[in-house]
Amino acid sequence: MNLGHYEEIAAAATKDDLKARLVEFTSHVGFERFALVLERTLVDGTKRYHSLTNAPDGFSEVQVDNSIAAVDPVHSHLRSSLTPIVYTQQTYVDAGVPDLWDMVAPFGYSVGIGVSMVAPGVGRVMLGIDRASALPKDENALGRLASDLQLLAQYSQDVAQRLLAGAFTPELTGHQMAVLQLIGEGKSNSVIATLLGVSENTVKYHVGTLFRRMNVATREQAVRAACRAGLID
């Protein structure tokens, strides 16, 4: 697929629109099922999951059930690694949980490829495509599929946040909002301290708190997350 197709997916206006475009992508690369999961970690450490799939009714509940996902080898891999995974029934047998395969097989899953990507300020985006027929034996073909899927995951970050989880609005104090606004204007900590009439250490404290509450690591990520949430222009 060319870059324009990925951009169209990222620009989806509704959840149904996003689903239709992901179905089109899945079919284009020769697969039948897709599953997109957004994992968000809240300030208190609680994890929230939001998913979109064209699997039959009931699969989403299996997919994000923590008691199942904790021992599912594919989910465990995607939650801890950014390396793509190719999986079959043997993956579950080797992990000692063949019964889990029996739970997903009725939903039309046989073989698949999964990728995971961490998006600062958004969460972890996990994306998988599956089909009934065997995967290509050519390693180059498999590599291209994995690369296509990773690119799709990258373009799905913001749209997954926007359409599946809704706007994430962290709870910020007035001082923190003032600091965030000035960060968005490109001001340094020393300049912010002067403008707000506080010490630079106080500004650093507010910046650190902002980063934790917004689940980001840099000023640039904080600004992007704040723009997505409508906190700043």
Domains and CATH numbers, the chain: 3-165 (3.30.450.80), 174-228 (1.10.10.10)
How far apart (Å, rounded) are the C-alpha atoms in residues 15 and 4?
A: 19
The winner for highest mean pLDDT among 38-42, 82-86, 163-167, 223-227 is 82-86
Q: How far apart are CA 153 and CA 164, in angstroms?
A: 14
User: How many residues can be counted in the chain?
Assistant: 233
pLDDT, the chain, mean:
84
Mean predicted confidence (pLDDT) in 88-116: 86
Residues 137, 91: Cα–Cα separation, whole Å = 17
pLDDT at 119 over 90: no
Q: Is the pLDDT of residue 218 over 90?
A: no
137-180 residue pLDDT tens: 888 988 888 999 999 998 988 888 778 876 556 677 888 889 99
Mean of the pLDDT values across residues 51-62? Answer: 73
Residue 223 is inside which H or E element, if any? helix 219-228
Q: What are phi and psi of 34, to 5 degrees?
A: -135, 155
Q: At what angle do helices 174-184 and 189-196 cross, to 10 degrees?
A: 130
Q: Could you tell me which residues come within 8 angstroms of residue 46 by beta carbon, excluding any fewer than 6 positions away?
A: none
Q: Which of 11-20, 61-70, 134-143 has the lowest mean pLDDT?
A: 61-70
Q: What is the mean pLDDT of residues 103-122?
A: 80
Sheet of strand 111-119, all strands in order from the earlier edge strand to the far edge: 47-53, 33-41, 123-131, 111-119, 85-87
**Averaged pLDDT, 168-195:** 87
For residues 212-227, give the mean pLDDT: 82
pTM of the model: 0.71
